[in-house]
Chains A and B, each alone.
Chain A
């Protein structure tokens, strides 16, 4: 096999000119595109949006949070999954007495993503306090496992290496976003409130009817498809992702908060053999952090005033913003603090609540009397569908 022969010196020379012209044109166009993206910076990767109203694009947490973490002024971080998104920065700052707070929560966040996000924040500035809300599901699977629904993770935005930013700088999607900002085109879905970039508590309805709509009470996990977790896997993920972070930043106070899912979540855990795993994991987290003077744990999971009042929920996992505030208050005003004396009491209380709710009369007390709906006896239907 041979190379096609070169057509001669003249063509070699014209090929050289052609090559130079093509490469120069391509690189010039791409340079202009990149410069435009840097100037507008839709994801605030290089600077905060000051010349225009910031755009926190719907469900683009993983693209925008890294930039916010790098450039916003704060000393307190809220880190959690979708359940923590409706937490306002100013409330956190005021409650915790900090000079500034930032909510870096991400939907379907994994423990490895939580670590990456917090590492990005630590690389940007020293932190006084981290309020990390621990979701059991973030510790499922392997130590670096991510949920499929989370979509791709743009790791290049989380680090400080400018050479790997090309997917941001040279992307038609980003370029179009920048162009729409310049044109004032608001057809995309976004919010502009830097105080609550990912706040959704004001756009959905909370209430018992909403929680029960379409819910299969026999198979509570059918809608959420949460994977089965193992204690070993959860511990490995916690040790790999969060423990090193807490150890290497003794100057920062880490407040680990167990969020108050509705009691139906615990019923689901009990039915899927996830109850003991979850409780043992909580106990492990407590014991593992005992030697760290900068870590405190808060537990709201047996607070029946919240967990048994479905009117405070959007679905069995997600609660109203007031509950978010309650968690922040717990951390910063030292309520619901778990210590060696009350650790067992928290657990006993929760077990007792689940045992009650697992009985038909307990469930009925929570939900009201069941009605047969569409030939499915015992299925609860929201009031507006009865």
Chain B
């Protein structure tokens, strides 16, 4: 009995010592970098293309800026915004943050990020207006695009459509019919996204906005919204779309359904091109792209604007802030923008560069480039209210598609919430 107690004490002591040794070592490592500038960065990019792009650029930046190290941290998409808010509360944001564009307004309002206007070399020349507007507040600009912008369109499986003898749908009626015809025991007609997250609202927005829905969602329970939601409901009721969409994210869950041949169509974006190609699916041979169908033929398609923006935090004082901006600025140079956009699967943020991009990139970009020109930035005019409105909308979509409420009831609930949000 005593032997065990003594042995146990030794083990504990050994463990404690080992622990402190490691901790001491760890703090040593961090303190030795005190004299140079270390830029910390957080983002949620994790495809090989995106990671390679950032690594490539950081290496180049460090080479041209001796004494500067860039430390990147990947944070999962679902957690990045929470982590950034927590860090803002602790006044400890990383120097560089890559933020999903609907969240830019929120970060601005925390007061922990600095305006980029007025910093040496800042310019908004040549960008698509929508790409720049997200970061505009109180007369100043707070962000610049990471790799450009993106949006969504309808991607379809050529072989499956041919087998069912239908052409790519242009109107909602076409879509419903096509999805039904394309549903076989092997695959669904279309893969939707209706999980409890932003990408559900994002996917629904083209249907709603194109149909006369307001950018502020103030008429979501009127005809535009009801018709748009009824469309999705019908796809589910017809069994042309799987109810599992309630669990699916846009990427990778829904996109994998398409890539694996479990769905003939999907609404998705150009960031999927690398993955599609890897799976031997190429534009014009295995998959085609058309704009999101409209209710009435000839309606002007309005899609939401996607993409991430760089922001610089207050951390580290003016030296670090200026250096962080240098990092961002370097990415905006046309040659670098072109390279990054290709690796990311995005459309370059500057008009001239994207025209050049279209020449180099394939015809699969045609639809996206046209759409992105008229894409609508989600937080324009709404700022911090957008995430709250988005939540009301996706909850309504889930309620209607899961069958717990009728379409009109779901949208009525959302409408009353949205009216309160818009007022306050």
Do A and B share a complex? no
Q: Which residues of B contact A (CB under 8 A)?
A: none
